[in-house]
Structure 1
Amino acid sequence: MDKGLLTGKAVLVTGASSGIGAAAARVFAQEGAAVLLVARRQERLAALVDELRTEGARAEYVVADVTSREDAAMAVKSAVGTFGRLDGAFNNAGVGGDRTPLHQMDNETYDTIMDTNVRGVFNCLRAEIAAMLEHGGAIVNNSSVGGLVAIPTAAPYIASKHAVVGLTRAAADEYAQQGIRVNAVAPGTTRSEITTDWFARNPGLEDMVNSMTPQGRTAEPEEIAAAAAWLLSDRCPFLTGTVLPVDGGFVNQ
């Protein structure tokens, strides 16, 4: 492979079995990274790893649930054991949720969203930072434009993505002098399993959201992955604690 943004780096990707995570695995590998893919769906992970290896990439996978501290630590340990070190991580695993008025939201929905989107990122950050303390590294968390603005009838999701922004900024501040950069991407509407399902259950929603986006369209997952690759690379060494909207101008409205 030609030298790319991530050549020589070992990068972990969570939520790698579909959507933005799978796109990130492909983009990072194309940019020269050795990638460890983490998700719960083994068949999809195995198929993606086979695809990447066929294209000449170094790729492995681990089946893990990031809501478990032990699983998150195991995934990081596997990356270090396989590649010798961990240089970067894209904490992408997350869930959406039904559009429901806050006063009608049930506890199960709230707990599921917060457990995956917040605890999952927290678990991964703990393990990744510990693995990077000796040599530094870069971490990108996947938030959302929902982490920067309010969107009606999605209170737990909005709260969870605001929390990811908080975790990003806190970790960036705490570990800046240890050479660990922590940033986040905040995607706008992006084609994925979550959004496809969301749009199917809410007719007209995609058109409504796109009408609020200056570019007037839904992003492809590779566009988010490309932004994450840049944040993980050495091209932006003085950038940490930043939440980068990749949203077609949505938050400018």
Structure 2
Amino acid sequence: MFDLSGKVAIVTGGNGGIGLGIARGLASAGAALMLVGRDAAKTERAVAELAATGATASAAIADVTVEADCRGFAEAALQRHGRIDILVNNAGTNWRKPPQDYSLEEWRALIDANLTSTFLASMAVFPTLQCQRAGKIVNIGSMTSIFGASFAAPYSASKGGVVQFTKACATAWAEHGIQVNAILPGWIDTELTQQGRVQVPGLNERVLARTPAGRWGVPDDLAGTAVYLSSRASDFVTGAAIPVDGGYSSQA
């Protein structure tokens, strides 16, 4: 039920952090991977890591905020792997400061990186999934999709948008056999959140105090949920947004 053998998955931002953790999980379930990233060297290293485990993997160097680039990696996946079954919209970024300190350019850049990219990549693979009458799209939101963070206004807005976009596509594309769901990571130990611990005083202590699991997550903690949402085990699950946060969002 969770076997992904013969399936092809595209993971945007799959060259590190949460994206690479998810890619490792999908590969362990049998999927072939295309990792999409802007940094060619970093992406090739991630592909080599997966290949060393026996996985089939390739790299696509692309900017997911550019429509032509998204169409390009979808076409490349078809050419190299022959099909597309799964899209994980993981690419994104964040800068932390009070809402009033963001410029319009920064606001637009974050919305594009986190939300517009999800739209563009989904539109790039939709014709293939529609033709197959089957497919899985997994969008990476955030616990800030549920509640705000004083130091991440545009990020929170973009990730809230990811959840609503997920629900809209789920209802629109169910007739085509496509399931669209979201994962909402909590505080996961990545390069991005390591920067956050420097930028936001006391963040580490507050996270540990509020998380019932008593620790920060690691990228591989997302893998199981991603495999579930990418497999036939979730064929009757669509429009869901599943927190993977050690219980952080369940606390009052």
TM-score under structure 2 normalisation?
A: 0.95
1-side partners of 2:195 and 2:227: how far apart? 27
Inter-partner Cα distance in structure 2 for 1:202 and 1:252 = 22
In structure 2, do the counterparts of structure 1 residues 118 and 106 end up closer, same or farther at CA, with 3 Å as the change threshold? same
Over residues 28-63 of structure 1, what are the superposed CA-to-partner deviations in whole Å (9 max), with x where a residue is unaligned? 111100000100111111112122222211111100
Question: Following the alignment from structure 2 to structure 1, what is the Cα–Cα distance between the partners of residues 204 and 246?
Answer: 14
Distance 1:210 1:85, change over 3 A: same
Q: CA–CA distance in 2 between the matches of 1:42 and 1:217?
A: 32
Aligned to 1:55: 53
Please name the residue that 2:111 is paired with: 114
Superposed displacement of residue 25, structure 1:
1.7
- Count of residues paired in the alignment: 250
Query: 1:143: which partner in 2?
Result: 141
User: Greater shift after overlay, 205-214 or 109-118?
Assistant: 205-214
| Aligned-pair CA distance for 1:202 | 2.3
Superposition RMSD in Å: 1.3
Q: Matched residues in 1 for 2:49 and 2:177: separation?
A: 33
Partner of 1:234: 232
Deviation string 1:72-114 (CA, Å, 9 cap, x unpaired) is: 111111111111110001110010111x222232222211110
Residues 128-176 of structure 1 show CA distances to partners (whole Å, capped at 9, x for unaligned) of: 1122001110010000000111222311111000000011000000000
SS in 2 for 1:12: strand
The alignment partner of 1:126 has SS state of helix
Separation (CA, whole Å) in 2 of partners of 1:249 and 1:206: 16
1:222 — aligned with what?
220
Match for residue 26 of structure 1? 24
Superposition pairs of residues 1-253 of structure 1, within 5 angstroms:
5-98=3-96, 100-135=97-132, 136-253=134-251
Counterparts of 2:209 and 2:128, CA distance in 1 = 43
One-letter amino acid of the structure 1 residue matched with residue 234 of structure 2:
C
**Residue 232 of structure 2 aligns to a residue in which SS?**
coil
Q: Which whole-Å CA distance do the structure 2 matches of 1:27 and 1:44 have between them?
A: 19
Letter in 1 for 2:129: M
The one-character-per-residue Cα deviations of 1:161-198 (angstroms, maximum 9, x if unpaired) are: 00000110000000001000000000000011110111
Deviation at 1:211, TM superposition (A): 1.3
Q: Which runs of 5+ in 1 are unaligned?
A: none
Q: Is the 8 A contact 2:144 2:156 kept in 1?
A: yes
Note the C-alpha offset of 1:64.
Answer: 0.3
Q: Which runs of 5+ in 2 are unaligned?
A: none
Deviates most, 209-218 or 70-79: 209-218
Q: 1:181 to 1:85 in 2, by over 3 A?
A: same
For 1:164 and 1:216, the matched residues in 2 are separated by 28
Which whole-Å CA distance do the structure 2 matches of 1:159 and 1:146 have between them?
Answer: 8
8 Å contact from structure 1 (residues 4, 32) kept in 2: no
The answer on whether the counterparts of 1:14 and 1:92 sit within 8 Å (CA) in structure 2 is yes
Q: Output the CA distance in 1 between the equivalents of 2:13 and 2:123.
A: 17
* Equivalent AA in structure 2 for residue 207 of structure 1: E
Counterpart CA distance in 2 for 1:230 and 1:170 is: 21
Q: 2:69, 2:44 → 1: CA distance?
A: 18
